[in-house]
Structure 1
């Protein structure tokens, strides 16, 4: 294969004009991470929505590979509720993930969550305040979700 690459570069006009690539000019190689379905989940809260049965928030978890969405309407945004959601909606149904990505909210970054993730050997990755796009998966999946859920709650209230 290296011989084929060498011959290809030798016959390429652009490569000939550029010249040889030295070790200094080469880009650093990073290993490709192998990620299966349900290995990496993004989690975040969505609000505000019309209050329905006392529920104010929607907890949204999105699988980064399959884009599968799990959502639950909740009354609070505390760690106890998140742990129960993760155990029943993610761990029990799809298996324990390798990583969980969230923002730096106190409901995600606390001792209870740390203990749960340590117990199940899940890596917790958090987005920085300077680059919130790290946790964009739940938000980007949520682009259609708020309008869908908002429309459904409005329909339900008018019945």
Structure 2
């Protein structure tokens, strides 16, 4: 994997949708989230629907009016990010639209089981309190497996 470098705050944002979640008040079931690549600043907004009009409204209200027009927006290949409405929005504001590569599970395993330089711990161990059992460890006499029945 090659890191995406950015040296200017709020010039490059990653955006994605989270959901379908349990319905909140006003039938809100989704959250659109944008993260600035430089500062890691997060903006989010709950949504009823995931249409491109909701994405445009979010970008205008939570990104452009607060931080200015970004140069680049990175998102996945979801249909709400590929609409004609968003294409026109990008064209009007001269925003480069990039698609993130589809992340395969093997890449996610590597990211979640690699120790962080900052903490010395893996993301998996911070969340679950123990290390993940990796495929290469299956069937081996590992200490935590040997103590399982105690």
TM more than 0.5: yes
Q: Which residue of 2 is the match for residue 83 of structure 1? A: 56
1:123 pairs with 2:96: yes
| Alpha-carbon shift at residue 130 of structure 1 (Å) | 6.2
| Alpha-carbon shift at residue 100 of structure 1 (Å) | 0.1
| Alpha-carbon shift at residue 129 of structure 1 (Å) | 3.3
Q: Name the CA distance, whole Å, in 1 between partners of 2:9 and 2:34.
A: 14
Question: CA RMSD, aligned part only?
Answer: 2.6
Q: Which residue of 1 is the match for residue 41 of structure 2? A: 68
Q: Which residue of 1 is the match for residue 9 of structure 2? A: 37
**Among candidates 111, 123, 134, match of residue 84 of structure 2:** 111
- Uncovered stretches (5+) of structure 2, i.e. residues with no partner: 112-122, 128-150
Deviating 4+ runs (over 4 angstroms): 130-133
Structure 1 pair 115–131 and aligned structure 2 pair: CA distance change class (3 A): farther
**How do 1:1-16 and structure 2 match up within 5 A?**
none
Which is greater in Rg? 1
Higher helix share: 1
Tell me the SS of whatever aligns to 2:14: strand
1:46 pairs with 2:45: no
Q: Which residue of 2 is the match for residue 140 of structure 1? A: none
Tell me the SS of whatever aligns to 1:86: helix
- Uncovered stretches (5+) of structure 1, i.e. residues with no partner: 1-31, 137-142, 148-159
| Alpha-carbon shift at residue 50 of structure 1 (Å) | 1.8
Structure 1 pair 125–50 and aligned structure 2 pair: CA distance change class (3 A): same
Contact 2:6 2:38 in 1 (8 A): no
Structure 1 pair 130–58 and aligned structure 2 pair: CA distance change class (3 A): closer
